[in-house]
Amino acid sequence: MGFLRQPQSSSELQDQVAQLFVDTREDLYRYLLTLGVHPPKAQESVQEVFLRLYATLKKGEKIENIRGWLFRVAHNVGLKVRARQASEEAFAPELELRLTHPALNPERDLLERERMLRFHTAVEGLSEQQKRCLFLRLEGLRYPEIASTLGISASAVGEFLRRALARLKKVRDE
Amino acid sequence: MSSFRMRHPEETSLVRYLDGDLPAREAGKVASHLESCSQCRAEFEALQSTVADCARYRQEVLDAMPAPPAEWRDLYRDFSRIDESLAHEPLLVRLARPLVHAGAPRWATAAVLATLVVLGVFYQLRQTPSVQAAALLKRAIATAEAKPRRVHRIRVRTGNLDFTRVVGPQAPLTTAAAAPSVEALFNLAHIDRNDPLSARSFEQWREQQVHTTDEVSTVAAGYRIRTVAREGEIAEASITLEASDLMPVDERIEFRDSEWVELTEIAESTTESGGITVAPRVEVPVRAAEPPSRPAAFAPGPSASISDELQVLLALHEVEADLGDPIDVSLSNGKVLVTGRAGLPPSRQQKIQAALANMPLVEMQFDSLQPAAIPPQAALSSAGGSATPHPVIQSRVEKQLGGHAEFERFSAQILESDEEAMKRVYALHSLAQKFPAASEAQLSAKDRELLTTLSREHAAVLSQKVSTLASLLLPTLSSLGGTAALVQAVPQAAWQPAAEDLFRSSTRVDKLVSIMLGMTPSEGSTASLPTDLLSALKDLQSNLDDCQRLIAQ
């Protein structure tokens, strides 16, 4: 992902952020859904994140890794939004069903469906922190970025990832 | 060293190698080791496939998510609005901004800011409220940083809570272990639990808002800043800064759903002065470990009793749901109420529901999720902030152990034991709170036996984990010059208050361990950490012995 460097004209910056918005919004939106944020709120939050990005860059602040920044801010916004969903259920689509239903996955054979379900159960069984490290890692964030998103040290990120992978490896071996 | 003679790399190193996170030299070593060692290569390939599986699984999950419900907005209109509001931002704020973000040393930033603010004092009074607000807050932050506070007390009030928190450098560490609901509330309100009433937290929140309106007024005590936010869960917040030194004296945060939090500095003397610092009418000392009253515990008829609650706890224990799952159990309206909080995965929820399915008088509430409480091991930093690990103690430990790889291994082993130990501590503490001595005496002999078995099990596992932790920590801490202070044990009459002591000493150990490993920023110097941690461990062991002895009685 391109870095936004050097002071530039307002319209240049607007174009760059708008392009970034088109490229990244779906990723951020889906990431927020997996945090349990409901779709309308998730969409709203993603838009808010990009406005913050624009305001931050406009103020002349430098951002080294934009994707890392976007996920970090989205993660924090998402957690706050989810916490505010006090009276509602967290958004949790029936993943088991979607991942394994033959009609939804006609090309997948039974064994493969079972394996996916086992994997899903194992992922659900990871600690919240392990899951967060893993998912942010899969979004392409580096250890220090994950660390700053979650407010832990980079070595702790390594440790959480190690534990998560060790557990998931067992499922593979089963 | 020849690659043939290199020890097998730790799994952590393999994971970091796979992720491209190893420094070049170490990565080179791992790479050449992998070439020559088929065992490690197989291990590495298994890891690679696991990561590939993860990526595939994650993609499936993301693909299974519904599409956005509405059209995406055209951001250009919002951009123009932001441009406009930034263009109207006053000179002083624009002048100050590059200082804050240019990476200048903090003290320099604070000093320059303070000077700027003093110079601009006449200027600011003629400026718009947002300049005044920003300038006042920045000056308040600079003052607070220049002059660390001594221990002081803050009264915290919300719609249904009213308590006092002791804060400051030597405040008792037990304050960190407040009720989960309080922690969740603090997180939501952007309140730093170690320094609840601070200009910094207020400014951090304010800075994060895209659209705000500020109001600055002078009141009897000093300046009052009120900020109304157009978006976000906090609708408005106001803070009062003392005229003389800009120390915050009170703060009020109002959420959009009309919940609120109010923080008030409690004056040293309880006499009223200036109408701002008023001593609270009800002051609940945080340290007090009084057992909660247990209404309707022994009511006859179909009403649930603590015995039913005990059965529920045992059933939850069967599926290990008493070890860290975000679940609350309480007696409410004649039922045993089991509430799942945010963060409980659906599969876990089903397991718990199944475990409690045939129990009478149980009510489960998994659908109305309350704000996520922060589990002890997974505490997130407040949103937007990032923890700054303290490198000094970490590098001392690293040096002592003989390198980064050793530190990583050491840290992993300690994390593991500490996490397991804390799960048991919380479980035991929760039992002690639910069944204080008076309630325990009312249980039938059989129930008492069950309760004893359960607490004994928690204490025994805890004891193992604490021994492991101690054997890992002792050599390193001693060689760093740490010496355990003499423990003055206060013998307790029953296991419940002993479990309270145990809880206090374990959370202290947990906190110090986490500072040592760089997972929690330290609040001050870490020079005495080896001694503090050794003493805390000794204290923990003595409390644990006491608790185990009393459980056995």
Q: Tell me the chain A residues in contact with residue B347 when contact means C-beta distances shorter than 8 Å.
A: 96, 121, 124-125
* Domain ranges, ordered by start, for chain B: 11-63, 80-266, 306-365, 382-552
Q: Tell me the chain A residues in contact with residue B66 when contact means C-beta distances shorter than 8 Å.
A: 33, 39, 93
Residue A129 confidence (pLDDT):
86
- For residue B238, give the H/E element and its range: strand B234-242
Mutate to test the interface with B, among A75, A89, A128 (most CBs of B within 10 A): A128
Interchain CB distance below 8 Å, A142 and B187: no
Sheet of strand B260-266, all strands in order from the earlier edge strand to the far edge: B162-167, B152-158, B260-266, B248-255, B234-242, B222-229, B212-218
Range of the domain at A75: 1-92
Mutate to test the interface with B, among A162, A168, A170, A173 (most CBs of B within 10 A): A162
- Report ipTM (2 d.p.): 0.86
The total of structural domains in chain A comes to 1
Long-range contact pairs involving B4-10 (C-beta distance under 8 Å, separation at least 24): B4/B36, B6/B32, B6/B33, B8/B33, B8/B37, B8/B39, B8/B40, B9/B33, B9/B40, B10/B405, B10/B408, B10/B409
- B121/chain A closest Cα distance in angstroms: 24
- Per-residue tokens: A103: 């009609």
**Residue among A77, A81, A93 minimizing CB distance to B64:** A93
Interchain CB distance below 8 Å, B79 and A17: yes
| Closest residue by Cα to residue B50 from A36, A99, A72, A118 | A118
Which CATH number belongs to the domain containing residue A28 in this structure?
Answer: 1.10.1740
Q: Tell me the chain A residues in contact with residue B55 when contact means C-beta distances shorter than 8 Å.
A: 138
**CA distance linking residue A99 with residue B63, whole number of Å:** 10
Interchain CB distance below 8 Å, A153 and B345: no
| Interchain contact B196–A (C-beta under 8 A) | no
| Closest residue by Cα to residue A81 from B383, B229, B228 | B383
**Secondary structure letter of residue B382 according to DSSP:** S
Residue B97 confidence (pLDDT):
52
Q: What is the pTM of this model?
A: 0.41
The answer as to whether A134 is a domain residue is: no
The CATH class, in words, for B80-266 is mainly beta
Residue A51 confidence (pLDDT):
92
Interchain CB distance below 8 Å, B208 and A127: no
Interchain CB distance below 8 Å, B375 and A55: no
Helices (H), ranges, B342-381? 346-356
| Interchain contact A117–B (C-beta under 8 A) | no
Q: Tell me the chain B residues in contact with residue A152 when contact means C-beta distances shorter than 8 Å.
A: 387, 519
Interchain CB distance below 8 Å, B369 and A79: no
Q: Give the model confidence (pLDDT) of B197-250 as tens digits.
A: 888 888 888 887 777 788 877 777 778 888 988 877 888 899 998 877 778 889
Interchain CB distance below 8 Å, B384 and A76: yes
Residue A43 confidence (pLDDT):
93
Interchain CB distance below 8 Å, A169 and B50: yes
Q: Give the model confidence (pLDDT) of B2-52 as tens digits.
A: 444 467 888 888 888 888 778 888 888 888 888 888 988 998 998 888 888
Residue B379 confidence (pLDDT):
33
**Residue among A31, A82, A165 minimizing CB distance to B15:** A165
**CA distance linking residue B185 with residue B424, whole number of Å:** 25
**Distances from the Cα of A163 to the Cα of A49, B14, B16, B56, angstroms:** 31, 12, 12, 19
Task: Report the residue of chain B nearest A104, measured CA to CA.
Answer: B64
| Interchain contact A56–B (C-beta under 8 A) | no
- A55/chain B closest Cα distance in angstroms: 7
CATH topology of domain B306-365: Alpha-Beta Plaits (3.30.70)
Interchain CB distance below 8 Å, B65 and A93: yes
- For residue A119, give the H/E element and its range: helix A110-124
Low-confidence residues in chain A, pLDDT < 50: 1-3, 5, 7
| Interchain contact A122–B (C-beta under 8 A) | no
Residue B223 confidence (pLDDT):
80
Q: What is the pLDDT along chain B (553 residues), one digit of tens a residue?
A: 444 446 788 888 888 888 877 888 888 888 888 888 898 899 899 888 888 888 888 888 888 888 898 889 888 888 888 887 777 655 555 555 544 444 444 445 555 555 444 444 434 444 456 667 777 787 788 777 776 667 778 888 887 778 877 776 655 444 444 566 677 777 777 777 778 888 888 888 888 777 778 887 777 777 888 898 887 788 889 999 887 777 888 999 988 887 888 898 887 543 333 333 333 333 333 333 334 444 433 434 567 788 888 888 888 888 778 877 777 888 877 888 888 766 566 777 778 888 887 777 888 877 544 333 333 333 333 333 333 444 677 788 888 888 777 787 787 778 778 878 888 888 898 889 888 888 888 888 888 888 888 899 899 989 988 988 888 888 888 888 888 776 666 778 889 989 988 998 888 888 888 788 776 666 677 788 888 898 899 889 889 998 999 988 8
Residue B268 confidence (pLDDT):
59
Interchain CB distance below 8 Å, B62 and A134: no
| Interchain contact A64–B (C-beta under 8 A) | no
| Interchain contact B90–A (C-beta under 8 A) | no
- A65/chain B closest Cα distance in angstroms: 16
